[in-house]
Amino acid sequence: MNTDKNNASFHLHLIRHPQTDWNAARRYQGVSDRPWSPAGEIRAKQVVEKFTPPPFDHVICSPRKHARQLASQLSNDINEDNRWAEIDHGKWEGLTYQEVSQRFPDTVNERFANPRQCKSHGGQNLDELNQETTAAWRQLLRQNQYQNIAIITHATPIQMVLCLITGLPIKNYWQFQIDCGSITSLDITPAGCIINFCNQT
């Protein structure tokens, strides 16, 4: 597994934020701050209970409220990093797939034909998000002062990391199922990355 050059050893938990109201309604959600759904609130409590007392000596989170809210329950000292934010869905934000298909049929065809480079929807393409996630990931590999790190983020950045360490092409990112409130556990070593478990709920 490829982790680039790495001299650090640490435990890493990648945690997707709990379900929001838009997640429950299956609406595209990238740059919007949304409240947790009732199911999301339950899952948040479960995650906090799982990590009580909190084992983390460093917590990073996306600036989105539904991620930051969970991070604040896991640590009093969190580092917001926009590179761990979800992809910007542009004109699709807040819409269901059916609504997008009805309003922007040409955009849908272009977007799914070339997700890595297409920006016809007015948001980010996959390559842009991957560049940000990769930069954040490489910074993590250069650090050596923390032993147990949590990143509270979103589905796509977690999928980008898993593509990076397994060598799967990023266009196939969708092959990693990352549910709301799920936990993915990695051990980072100088020899490589160990995936302890993925998408645990």
CATH number of the CATH domain containing 131: 3.40.50.1240
Instruction: Answer whether residue 181 is part of any domain.
Output: yes
Q: Is residue 69 part of a domain?
A: yes
Q: Which two tokens stand for residue 74?
A: 């896991």
Residue 168 lies in a domain: yes
Render pLDDT for 15-57 as a digit per residue (tens, 0 to 9).
999 999 999 999 999 999 999 999 999 999 999 999 999 899 9
In a domain, 166, yes or no: yes
SS (H, E, C) 2-33: CCCCCCCCEEEEEEECCCEHHHHCCECCCCCC
Q: Which domain holds residue 31?
A: 10-87+126-200
% residues pLDDT > 70 (the chain): 97
pTM over 0.85: yes
Which residue is it, tokens 């909190």? 54
The answer to whether residue 107 is domain-embedded is no
Q: What distance in Å separates the CA atoms of residue 193 and residue 165, rounded to the nearest whole number?
A: 7
Tens digit of each residue's pLDDT (9 = 90 or more) over 137-159: 999 998 878 999 999 999 999 99
Residue 46 domain-assigned (yes or no): yes
| Contact assessment for residue 13 and residue 55, using Cβ atoms and an 8 Å cutoff | no
**54 in any annotated domain:** yes
For the chain, the domain total comes to 1
DSSP 88: P
